[in-house]
Structure 1
C-alpha cells in the first residue's frame, strides 16, 4: 500500500496554517484560525449501483487572513459500502481557497474549493489519485471560541479513464477558533481625539471635566454589548474612573466618549513634568463571553506649580486657608489686630490693613519673573505659567502679581473674609469683601473706592506695592479698576472654588519662616490705620 506519501502530505498540509498565522507580531484583527471536527456521511452519485451511502469523518483547518478571504486545508476518512459487501476505504487530503461571509452576529457562511489527493483501498487493491471538490458551510457561533458548523460538499475522485467515484458529503460538527485559545484577543480600538493639559493643582477639576476624549471602535466580527470604559493611572488614582457604559456597538461602529479622572493628592508631589503611562480599560461582552482590553495612553502631566491662563479662575486652587505657613502668619497677625481693633471702623479693612503692613515688615517684594510674567502669558491661553503656593511666596519673600495675590487672598481667607481676583489687561490683583452690602457701600465714606458686585461692596487692593502702605495700595487698586472699564473682571474665590477647589501641598509646613516682631506690627498697624482714617471723606 502506498500510504506513506499520503501520510507525508497530510503532515505537511495541516501545520502550514498555524505557522502562517503566527508569522508577524500578531494576527490581524479580522483573522481567524478555525479547527473543524466533523462526523458525517458520504452519498455516492453512482448510476451503476456499485456503492452505497457510507460514514465519513473529517478534520479541517481554515485560516481567514482577510475579512472575506482565506485558505482551507482538510483531511478525511470515509468508508463506503459496495454491493460486494466489502467497503471501500478512502483517506484524503486537500487544500484550497476559502471565501467567508459574516451574515449575522452568530451566523457565517463559508465556501471552499479543494484540490488534493486521495488513497483508496478495496480488498487487496490500493491506489493514490487526484481529487477535486468543494463545499459550503454554515456556522452558528455559540461563543468567540466555539461554533456549530454544518457542511455540504461535492467531491470527484478522479481515475483513469473515468472518475472512480463522485459523491455528496454532508456533515455536522464543532469548530474551534484556535486564536481564542493560543492568544485570546480583544478586537477593540481606542483612538485619542483630544487631550487636555493635566495640572496637579487642578487635580479635582478632572473628576467632572475631560482628561482626554477617546473614540472606541468595535473591530469584532459581531456586535458587542455592555461595554464599560474606564480610565486608570497607577499611583495617581486610587481606583479606575468609569468614563462610559455603551449598551451596544455594531461591527465597525465607533463611539466618542469623554474620559474623566478622579486623581488623588499624590499629584501634588510632582515637582517636575512627567509622561505617565495611563490605561483605558474596556470590559465588554462578545457572543456572551466577557472580554477585557487595556489600551495604553501616554499622558503628559505638568509639575504642581504649572497652569495656563485659559481660565483665570484656575489660580483659585493655589489660594488655600489651610496652607500651614499662611495659617501661621495670618493667625499671628490677626491676634495682634484683634487686640487693637477699633470699633468705630470697618473690621475687615482693619484685618487687611494689619496683614498688608505685616507683609511689608516681613520683607515681601514684588518680583517680575521674565520667564513667567502674567502680563505676557495672560494673552496666550496655551502658554504655561508657574505660580507659587502661599507657603512658597512667604518662604521666597516675594513673587509676581499672581503670587502675591494668591498669598494675600489666602491670608484673608484664614480670617474668614471672602476674597476675589481682579483681572485687567496684563495684570492680576485682588479684592476683599468689606463686610458691607452694595447699598451700605454706596452710603459709606469710602464709596468711590469700592467695587459693587453681586450685592457686596469689595475693596480692591494693589498687593504689588507693599512698601507704599495700605491706603496707597487701596487707591491704586481702585484707580486700576476704574481705568479698565470694559476690560476688567472680578472672580470671587468662593465661586471659583466650585470649579477649582483649593489644594494643600503635602509637606508645606516643613518650611520655617521668621514672623515679624509683634511690637513692630502693632506700631505699623496703628500708624497705617490712623492714615486711612484721616483720608478725606466724601
Structure 2
C-alpha cells in the first residue's frame, strides 16, 4: 500500500517539542516517556507539558544511564536501562523510586542477571524483558521476582527462525502473543504465550521500533522512514510517513508508541520532537474467550528472622524453628512478636493441626510432642531407636484432617503414623513405602493427600487419604531428575511447591512441572540457601532463606482455570446463570460477559462473588450468549468458560385476583387491585357472544365504567391484563345486575357543611362552608349544571358554582362558598339556620331544578372552638378605636420612653389603676374548654373586656395583646396545658451566649421576649412578668406552644367591629406612679441593664472606649434614664472633648427636660466641632425656637438647609414656620 493511501488513514495532529531528546520510550496513563541525552527520563503530557522527571540516581546508586523502553502497569512505571542493565520501578503518581531488579547491583546473580536489556512489556502481572546481550526473553514478577527464561520452540529444523540473536524490543497483544523485534536479522517475530514460534511479520525494510496496540502492530521502518501498520494476521494494512524536515516528516525514527483511540506517537531525536497522529482504527482482537494466563509472583515483604522450619496456624500466625533450634519464633503481621521455648528440646520440625495445636519434633530427645502456646508439653510420644514408634533422626511432621500424626525419619527411612494421643498405629506402607530413602519434608493438600519429599531420591512420593500410593514424581520422561537439591515442600491451591536449589518449583498433584520462580541472589525474590516454605492462606507463601537471613513473604498471582458447568436458564426478561463453585481461596469473584453473537462482541455485564448471576431487563425471545471468568483478589482474571446461551421469556400477567362491582340503574363500575407496573400494558374488558370475545374497552387505570345500560338487567363482563410484551392474562368473569331506578335524576348529597363562626365570616368566601356531591342517576349526560347556595338574612345574594357536564352515573363534588354581609356580626345568640342549596341542569332547552335544605349552625361573634387554635387571632384587634386610644394615652404620658418593656409595664399598671380584674368564666373556663376541641367556647372582644373591666385568661390575653400591638409592640400567645398567657418582644437582639438575665427573658426568633401572666392584672407589672416567665420555663419542654397572631391573621382576620360609642376615662401618669411607685423604675433598670450589657462588658475591658460610653448614653436616654445617660455623655467628653455626638446628645436631654438654654449651648458647641452636620443645625434651630428666638432659629435652619437641602422636606412644619418668618 502506498504512503499516500496511508496518509489518508493517518491524521497528523501536532509536534511535541522535547529538547535534547534521545528516544521516545513509551506511552502510558495519558503521558509520554522520553529519554534525554543525559540519561534521564522526562514524563510529559500529550500537550508537551512536563509532568515530572524520573530520578536517575538513588543516593549513590546509579539507576539510569541509557534508558531503552518504558511501560506502565497499574500504579507503576517500569524503565529498562541498558547502561545499568536493570529494570527500574517508579510510582506513577509523583515518580517516587520504588526499586530495581535484574542487575547484580540490585541483588541478582546467575542466570537471572540481565545483559544490555533493551525492551520491556508488562502483561497480566508478568514483566517481559528483551535481554539483548543474553539473546533471550526474561520473565519477572510484577515487582521483580524472577520467574523464568521464556523457552522458545518451533518446528523441527526451524531453529534459525524462532531463535533470537539480538532481541531489541518486545510487546504483547491482548491474547498474550509475544512480539519481539530481533535486531540480528531485522525481523519481528511472533510467539505464543508459551514461546512457540508462530510467524514473522513480512520483512520489507529495517524495523527499528514497534508498538502493539488494540487494533494491530505499528512498526517504525528506518529504510523508508515510514510507520507500517499490520493487522494481527500479519497482513499490511497501510503505512504513512516520509523522510524530510517538514511537518509529519521524519529526520530520524527514535521510538514509536500507540495509546488508546489510535493515538500514534513517533519520536524524532534529530528534530528533538515527537510527532502525534490519529489513525484509522482497525479490527481489534476479541477479548474473549481468554486462555489461562501465566501465573506470576509478587514480593510482599521481608521479615528479618532466621528460621529452619515454618508452619502456619490457618489464621494469622506462623511458627518458625529458630536458627539454634531451641525455640519457636511467633510471627504475626510481618514481624516476630514472641517466642516459645520448650524445655530441653532440639527442634527439627513444626506443624499446626486444624484445631490450632502446635506439634514439634525433638531430634535430641528423639520424640514428637504436642505443645500449648506457652511451650508446655501436652503429649509426648516416641523414643530413640529403629523399632515401631521409635525415631533416630525425625525430620518432618504433618497432621492429617482426621487428626492422625505422620512423622518422617530420615535415618530410619520411614514415615510412621500415630493417633492424636500419641499411640503408635503403624508405618506407612504400600507400593512406594519401601522406596523411601531420606524423607525430609511432608505436607497434606486440601484433599488430604500426603506428599513426601525424599532428599536422596530427589523425588516426591504421593499417597491418598486412604494410604494408597498415588505415584512418585520429580523426573522427566527420560528419567532425568527435575530436582537437584530439594529441601522442603508445601501443598496448596491444588499444587505442590518444592524448594530446590534457590528456586521454588511448582508441580501439579500428578507430578507435572508447571513452572518455577526465584533465583540465586539477595534482591527481590532472590534466594540464597532457602530451607523452608509455608503456605499462608489465599495465594501467599513464606520462604525462609538461611543465606540472606530473612523470611520472604510472597504472593502467587494466579490466573484461574475456566469456571465449569456453566448453565443458562431463561426466565421472564432475564437469564439465570449458574456454574460450579471454585475451591481456590484466591478467587475473589466472577465476571460475567454477554453477547448477542456466539463468537464475538462479548461485554461485561456484571460480577458476583457467588457462583450464580441473574441478568435482568433483557428483551424477550432474543437469544443471548454468556461466558464467565474468575477474578483473583489481586484483580487478575483467568480463563473464560465455554459459551452458553439462553432466551428470556415473555411476561404473562397473572389473572386478576378479585374485581369489585358497583352498580346504578344505568351503569356498572368495575374496580380491582392494580397490577404490577413492570411489563404492564393495559387492562382489557370483554363481552362474550357465543364463543367469541369482543373487546369493549381498554384502560390504564384499575377501573372501568360501562354506561347507558338498562335498569334491572344482568350483565357479564370479562377482564384481563395485557402486558407490554403483547401477552394477556386469563380472563376473569364479572357478573353484575343494574339497580332498580328509584332515585332522583340529579341527586344532591351533603358531603360536609361546617358551622359558621360569625367573628371570622370572611374566611368562608375564600375557603368555603362545605361540599356537596352531585350524581347523575340517568343514562344521559347532563349539561350546563349550576349550583347555588344561600343562608337567608346573612347573605345578600346566593353564591354560584358551575359544571359543564356530568356523564351518566358520574359523581362530582362541588365546593359551597358563602359571602356574608355585616349583619352576621349583630347576631346575639347562636342560631340554627336552614340553608338553600339548589342544583339545576338543562335538558332539551329546559332548566330542571332540584333542592336540598340542610341546617347550618351560626354562632355569635364571641364563639370559637379550639380545633382551629388560630381562630383566636380574630379576637386580637389592635386597630379597634378603644384599643388605639388606650395605647395612645400610655404613649402620650410616657412620651420620653421608647423602651418596649417600660411601655408594656405602664400599660399593665394603668389597667390596675383602671380596676381591670381577672374573673374565671363560670360556664366554660379555659382550662376545660381548651382541652375539648369540639366544645364551643365564649371569648370577649378586647373592647368588651375594657368596658366590663374583667375577663377570663383568654379574654385578658386578647385584650393585653391587642393594646400592645396597637402601640407597635410585637406579641405572641403562649399556651400551656390548661392555661393561656402571652409574651411580647423587647426588640433586643439575643446574644450569642444565650444571655437571659437568669431566665428573666426568653429567647424566641433571635430576640429577647417577656412573658406576662395577664391574670395578675391589678398587681405590679414586675410580678406578672416574674409569674409569666416562671410558667414559660416550667412548661417549655412539656407541652408549651406559641401562637403567632401575625401569621394567623393571614387566615383569621381581626374582627371588624362597629364604631365604639363609649369613651373610657383617662388614667394619669401620676395615678399610675402613685399605685405602683417603683414598678416603672424597676423595669427601666432591668431593661437598661439588658440593653447595655455588651457595652458594659466592653468598658470593663477598656474603660477608655469612647464608642461604648456613647452607646451607653444613647440607650439609657431612650429608656428614659436621662440622669444616667448624661453621666456617660460627660464621660465621653472627658475622654474626647471634641466629640460632637456626645455634645449633641447632651442637647437632646436638655430639650426633653425643657432646659432650652442649656440645650442651645450644647448644640452650638456641637456645630463648632462638626460645622457641616446639617442635623445638629436643625437641633439648634429647635432650641432657639423653644425660647422664641426666631431670628437665630431661622439662621440655624437656613444653615442646615444649605448643608443638606433634604432637611426642608424632612422637617416641613419647622421649615414653614421659620422660613416664612420675617
Normalising by structure 2, we get a TM-score of 0.27
Q: Does 1:306 align with 2:863?
A: yes
Shift of 1:267: 1.5
Q: Give aligned pairs, total.
A: 353
Which residues in structure 2 correspond to 1:2-17 (within 5 Å)?
none
Shift in alpha-carbon separation, 1:388–1:263, aligned structure 2, 3 A? same
Q: Which residue of 1 aligns with 2:1030?
A: 479
Deviations 1:299-329 (A, max 9, x none): 1101111111112221110110122222222
- Which SS does the other structure have where 1:416 is aligned? coil
Shift of 1:371: 0.7
Q: Which residue of 1 aligns with 2:1040?
A: 488
- Judge which range, 511-520 or 302-311, deviates more: 511-520
Which residues in structure 2 correspond to 1:19-30 (within 5 Å)?
none
Q: Which residue of 2 aligns with 1:133?
A: none
Shift in alpha-carbon separation, 1:104–1:482, aligned structure 2, 3 A? closer
Among 329, 332, 357, the residue aligned to 2:909: 357
Q: Does 1:231 align with 2:782?
A: no
Among 203, 216, 221, the residue aligned to 2:774: 216
Shift in alpha-carbon separation, 1:241–1:420, aligned structure 2, 3 A? farther
CA distance in 2: counterparts of 1:423 and 1:408, whole angstroms: 15
Contact kept? 2:987, 2:1007, Cα under 8 Å: yes
CA distance in 2: counterparts of 1:449 and 1:455, whole angstroms: 16
CA distance in 2: counterparts of 1:437 and 1:285, whole angstroms: 66
Shift in alpha-carbon separation, 1:384–1:284, aligned structure 2, 3 A? same
Q: Does 1:520 align with 2:1071?
A: yes
- Which SS does the other structure have where 1:278 is aligned? strand
Q: Which residue of 2 aligns with 1:54?
A: none
Contact kept? 1:461, 1:476, Cα under 8 Å: yes
Q: Does 1:461 align with 2:1012?
A: yes
Shift of 1:355: 0.7
Among 954, 970, 976, the residue aligned to 1:418: 970
Q: Does 1:321 align with 2:878?
A: yes
CA distance in 2: counterparts of 1:201 and 1:517, whole angstroms: 34
Normalising by structure 1, we get a TM-score of 0.60
- Which SS does the other structure have where 1:214 is aligned? strand
Shift of 1:229: 2.7
Contact kept? 2:707, 2:809, Cα under 8 Å: no
CA distance in 2: counterparts of 1:526 and 1:334, whole angstroms: 18
Among 889, 901, 904, the residue aligned to 1:332: 889
Shift in alpha-carbon separation, 1:458–1:229, aligned structure 2, 3 A? farther
Contact kept? 1:336, 1:522, Cα under 8 Å: no
CA distance in 1: counterparts of 2:820 and 2:994, whole angstroms: 45
Q: Which residue of 2 aligns with 1:269?
A: 826
Among 925, 929, 932, the residue aligned to 1:380: 932
Q: Which has the larger radius of gyration?
A: 2
Shift of 1:246: 3.0
Contact kept? 1:421, 1:492, Cα under 8 Å: yes
- Which SS does the other structure have where 1:531 is aligned? helix
Q: Which residue of 1 aligns with 2:49?
A: none
Shift of 1:522: 5.1
Contact kept? 2:764, 2:817, Cα under 8 Å: yes
Deviations 1:276-296 (A, max 9, x none): 222223343334544444432
- Which SS does the other structure have where 1:468 is aligned? coil
Q: Does 1:194 align with 2:746?
A: no
Shift of 1:435: 1.4
Deviations 1:237-292 (A, max 9, x none): 243334x5433222343223332323232221111111222222334333454444
Deviations 1:155-188 (A, max 9, x none): xxxxxxxxxxxxxxxxxxxxxxxxxxxxxxx942
Shift of 1:350: 1.6
CA distance in 2: counterparts of 1:189 and 1:457, whole angstroms: 59
Shift in alpha-carbon separation, 1:108–1:475, aligned structure 2, 3 A? closer
Deviations 1:120-144 (A, max 9, x none): xxxxxxxxxxxxxxxxxxxxxxxxx
Query: Unaligned stretches of 5+ in structure 2?
Result: 1-664, 667-705, 712-743, 1094-1222
CA distance in 2: counterparts of 1:501 and 1:475, whole angstroms: 32
Contact kept? 2:770, 2:815, Cα under 8 Å: yes
Q: Does 1:390 align with 2:942?
A: yes
Shift of 1:337: 1.9
Shift of 1:351: 1.5
Shift in alpha-carbon separation, 1:533–1:481, aligned structure 2, 3 A? same
Contact kept? 1:354, 1:525, Cα under 8 Å: no
- Which SS does the other structure have where 2:965 is aligned? helix
Shift of 1:331: 1.6
Shift in alpha-carbon separation, 1:263–1:424, aligned structure 2, 3 A? same
- Which SS does the other structure have where 2:763 is aligned? helix
- Which SS does the other structure have where 2:1014 is aligned? coil
Shift in alpha-carbon separation, 1:294–1:360, aligned structure 2, 3 A? same
CA distance in 1: counterparts of 2:1006 and 2:841, whole angstroms: 53
Q: Which residue of 1 aligns with 2:372?
A: none
Q: Which residue of 2 aligns with 1:532?
A: 1083
Considering only aligned residues, what root-mean-square deviation do their CA atoms show, in Å? 2.9
Query: Unaligned stretches of 5+ in structure 1?
Result: 1-66, 69-102, 110-185
CA distance in 2: counterparts of 1:349 and 1:290, whole angstroms: 67
Q: Does 1:450 align with 2:1001?
A: yes
Q: Does 1:497 align with 2:1031?
A: no
CA distance in 2: counterparts of 1:313 and 1:377, whole angstroms: 15
Q: Which residue of 1 aligns with 2:806?
A: 249
Deviations 1:13-52 (A, max 9, x none): xxxxxxxxxxxxxxxxxxxxxxxxxxxxxxxxxxxxxxxx
- Judge which range, 217-226 or 420-429, deviates more: 217-226
Q: Which residue of 2 aligns with 1:87?
A: none
Shift of 1:357: 0.4
